[in-house]
Structure 1
Amino acid sequence: MSTPNPRRQLKPTDVKRLNRTWRRNTEGRLALILESVTGPFNIGSIFRTAAAFGAETVWLAGNATPPTNPKAQKTALGTDRLVEWHEPVPVAEAVRAAREEGFRVVAVELTGDAVPLHEAKLGGDVCLVLGSEDHGCSPACLEAADSVAYIPQVGRVGSVNVAVAAAIAMAEARRQEWASPAG
Structure 2
Amino acid sequence: MTSPMFRKKEMNELQRLSVADAKAAHTFPLTIVLDSVRSMHNVGSVFRTADSFGLESIVLCGYTPSPPHREIHKTALGATETVHWQYEKNIVPVLEKLKADGYRIIAAEQVHNSISLETIQYNPTEKIAVIFGNEVEGVSNDALALCDQVVEIPQFGAKHSLNISVSVGIIVWELIRTFNQ
- Structure 2: runs of 5+ lacking an equivalent: 17-25
Name the residue aligned to 2:162: 160
Give the secondary structure class of the aligned counterpart of 1:56.
Answer: strand
Aligned length: 168
Q: CA deviation at 1:15?
A: 3.2
Match of 1:173 in 2: 175
2:116 maps to 1:119: no
Question: What amino acid maps onto 1:33 in structure 2?
Answer: V
Q: Deviations over 1:20-64 (max 9, x none)?
A: xxxxxx974111100000111110011111111111211111111
The CA deviation at 1:85 is: 1.0
Percent identical among aligned pairs is 29
Structure 1 CA distance for aligned equivalents of residues 12 and 113 of structure 2: 45
Q: Which residue of structure 1 aligns with residue 102 of structure 2?
A: 102
1:52–1:28 Cα change, 3 Å = closer
**Aligned alpha-carbon RMSD (Å):** 2.1
Contact 1:44 1:74 survives alignment (8 Å) = yes
Cα offset for 1:77? 1.1
Q: Work out the CA distance in 1 between the residues paired with 2:85 and 2:46.
A: 12
Please state whether the residue corresponding to 1:129 is helix, strand or coil. Answer: strand
- Where 1:43 maps in the other structure, the secondary structure is helix
Q: Which amino acid aligns with 1:160?
A: L
Give the superposition deviation at 1:80. Answer: 0.8
Q: Distance in 2 between matches of 1:80 and 1:164?
A: 18
**CA distance, structure 2, for counterparts of residue 146 and residue 13 of structure 1:** 43
TM-aligned CA deviation for residue 118 of structure 1: 1.3
Q: Secondary structure at the match of 2:65?
A: coil
Q: Are the counterparts in 1 of residues 28 and 55 from structure 2 also a CA contact under 8 Å?
A: no
Opposite residue 132 of structure 1, the aligned amino acid is: N
Q: Is the 8 A contact 1:35 1:62 kept in 2?
A: yes
* Counterpart Cα distance in 1 of 2:47 and 2:89: 18
Moved over 6 A (4+): none
1:98 positional shift: 2.2
Q: How far is 1:126 from its partner?
A: 1.4
Range moving further from structure 2, 96-105 or 32-41: 96-105
Relative to structure 1, the CA distance from residue 51 to residue 28 in structure 2 (aligned partners, 3 Å threshold; closer, same or farther) is: closer
**TM-score in terms of structure 2 length:** 0.84
Structure 1: which 5+ residue stretches go unaligned?
18-25
Matching residue of 2:37: 37
Measure how far apart 1:116 and its partner are. 0.6
Q: In the TM superposition, what are the counterparts of 1:65-144 in structure 2 within 5 Å? A: 65-121=65-121, 123=124, 124-144=126-146
State how far apart, in whole Å, the 2-side matches of 1:13 and 1:119 are: 39
Deviations 1:107-143 (A, max 9, x none): 0001101001111225532111100011000111111
